[in-house]
Chain A
Amino acid sequence: DGGITQSPKYLFRKEGQNVTLSCEQNLNHDAMYWYRQDPGQGLRLIYYSQIVNDFQKGDIAEGYSVSREKKESFPLTVTSAQKNPTAFYLCASTPHRLNTEAFFGQGTRLTVV
């Protein structure tokens, strides 16, 4: 079945550590996105990529980094510079760069311990 797979589902990080969240899609979609969701808030855009080897900062990129070396993969690294990383992270993809509905993974819940 085609879809977007995020892993792991739950992730615990010690303060000062970098962690990488995985996002893989087999839908042959061009564009991929990372969002952060905090309780009672909507989705805030961290980074997005419209084509391989290219990506742009979203509204809250500080403390995060991404890469897009393959069309299928868009990993997100949460660095130690991110001051409040505990949140629910969602990855999405769209078949075209504009005006097409996005498909979402099931999310990764990151907790700092």
Chain B
Amino acid sequence: EDQVTQSPEALRLQEGESSSLNCSYTVSGLRGLFWYRQDPGKGPEFLFTLYSAGEEKEKERLKATLTKKESFLHITAPKPEDSATYLCAVVYNQGGKLIFGQGTELSVKP
């Protein structure tokens, strides 16, 4: 079954404490993997697109990486404003569907 799984479900960090979020996928023919940030009561905001294993993207304190089976979102020295739910999604060969993981809720305390 085509699936996207994120871990952990929730993560609590102290300000400045670096960590990583995981997104594993079991789909055939990955066309693209996307990371989004979602604040409560709002629509997801696009962060990164990754297309092939070995690819990396960076934006401020965030860095996304991709292997053949999973992606990591590394957060370096997080700040309280990084608190949000981070969603991973994939598009794959079975035409046009964009499917999401269940998200990781990140809380960064000062």
> Which of A45, A48, A101 is close to B34, meaning CB atoms less than 8 Å apart?
A101
A41-B102 contact, Cβ under 8 Å, with A99-B91, A104-B43, A107-B43: yes
Contact B95 A98 (CB under 8 A): yes
Residues of B within 8 A of A107 (CB): 41-43
Contact B100 A42 (CB under 8 A): yes
Question: Binding site of A, secondary structure by majority: helix, strand, loop or mixed?
Answer: strand
- Check if B99 is an interface residue, CB within 8 A of chain A: yes
With the chains together, A94 CA to B46 CA distance in Å? Answer: 12
Contact A104 B98 (CB under 8 A): no
Identify which of B42, B45, B98, B102 gathers the most chain A CB atoms within 10 Å of its CB: B98
Contact B100 A35 (CB under 8 A): yes
A31-B43 contact, Cβ under 8 Å, with A42-B102, A99-B31, A100-B32: no
- Check if A52 is an interface residue, CB within 8 A of chain B: no
Closest to A50 in B: B96
